[in-house]
Structure 1
Amino acid sequence: MKQNSFISLDFVERTDDEMITRSAEFLQLIQQRRSVRDYSAREIPRQVIENAIRAAGSAPSGANMQPWHFVVVTDSAVRARIRDAAEQEEHEFYNHRASAEWLEALAPLGTDESKPFLEPLRV
């Protein structure tokens, strides 16, 4: 019978008080997350982008396979094609698939099929 080998988890057991404090800090941080469509023109260091991709790529998955792929697109022509494809898909969603309830929920946000934020280069 084959013996499975696992990478051992470097687990640190924490006290109840420390877990409460850390979980409250994490909750406060995660509650600040928002969907953003209005971006700064400030350039982001490439290392920040690479660190974000590494963090996202380490998210747990079935069988710990992490089957996702991330791509940083810097070519303006490719970004324009991505925007066009996204806007076509969003047009179909907003005009044919979204329920009235969903569209009503989106109305105060002012979102629609237009995705201009996909094209400007900030890498």
Structure 2
Amino acid sequence: MEHTNPFVPYAPDRYDEAEMIRRGREFFEHVDRRRSVRFFSDEAVPRECVELAVMAANTAPSGAHQQPWKFVLIGDAETKRRIRVAAEEEERQNYEGGRLTPEWRTALAPLETTSDKGYLEVVPWIVVCFAEKYGLRPDGARVKHYYVNESVGIACGLFITALHTMGLSTLTHTPNPMAFLSEICSRPGNERPYILFPVGYAAPDAEVPDLTRKPLDEALVHF
């Protein structure tokens, strides 16, 4: 088949049925051990680990291959404190100020979350993923991006999985509204905050809610 644009051969690995199932089960068991963490150690984490997780995120499929994401890595103590203060201010409006609806409070109750986000100063790294609403050419002209939310969501999923694979923990923190992150991280107007990730080792005494995940027969429908 002739192409107008450059193409390269692609030959993904193939396995027999038993090996496919073994590898799939092994991967499921690996990711099934992943949990969102709110109790972190202040132990240092190599910067390269976060960079590798972002490299994994960069392998995500995206609309028209426009890769509409930007990851901002923060390790400076003062910046982490600014983020904590701003995040807690927004969260107090949610938890103590009445922005959370009764239904939302009921849904959150099993997690026992509060407006206290002290872990943002404990972790060695904070990573903020920004979604690029549109691209910018060197001359300032806008470039339309397609399927931004879907693309960035997939990239963030790979980022989380890569951290877990390296033995690190994180949490998908989405303080609402998140505009303060654009200011603190000095991001341009074509980007909007998508998810804030505290990144580090789980604290030795970390606890997580005793939750169960949706079983296969509720997640999968056969036709």
Same fold, judged at TM 0.5 (above): yes
Q: TM-score normalised to the size of structure 2? A: 0.48
1:106 to 108, 123, 133: 108
Q: TM-score normalised to the size of structure 1? A: 0.81
For structure 1, list consecutive stretches of 5 or more residues without a partner in the other structure.
none
Which whole-Å CA distance do the structure 2 matches of 1:14 and 1:97 have between them?
Answer: 52
**Cα shift at 1:10:** 4.1
Matched, 1:23 2:24: yes
Give yes or no for contact 2:54–2:71 (8 Å, CA) kept in 1: yes
Map residues 1-80 of structure 1 onto 2, 5 A cutoff. Answer: 3-80=4-81
1:10–1:106 Cα change, 3 Å: same
Q: How high is the sequence identity, in percent, across the aligned residues?
A: 43
Q: Secondary structure at the match of 2:73?
A: coil
- Residue by residue over 1:5-60, the C-alpha shift from the partner in whole angstroms, topping out at 9 and shown as x without a partner, is 34543412222221111111111111111110101222111221211121123222
Counterpart AA for 1:34: R
**Cα shift at 1:102:** 2.7
The alignment of Structure 1 onto Structure 2 pairs a total of residues equal to 122
Q: Secondary structure at the match of 1:69?
A: strand
Which has the larger helix fraction?
1
Which has the larger strand fraction?
2
1:9–1:65 Cα change, 3 Å: farther
1:4–1:78 Cα change, 3 Å: same
Which whole-Å CA distance do the structure 1 matches of 2:4 and 2:98 have between them?
Answer: 52
1:68–1:25 Cα change, 3 Å: same
1:44–1:55 Cα change, 3 Å: same
Residue equivalent to 1:86: 87
Q: CA RMSD in A?
A: 2.2
Give yes or no for contact 2:84–2:121 (8 Å, CA) kept in 1: yes
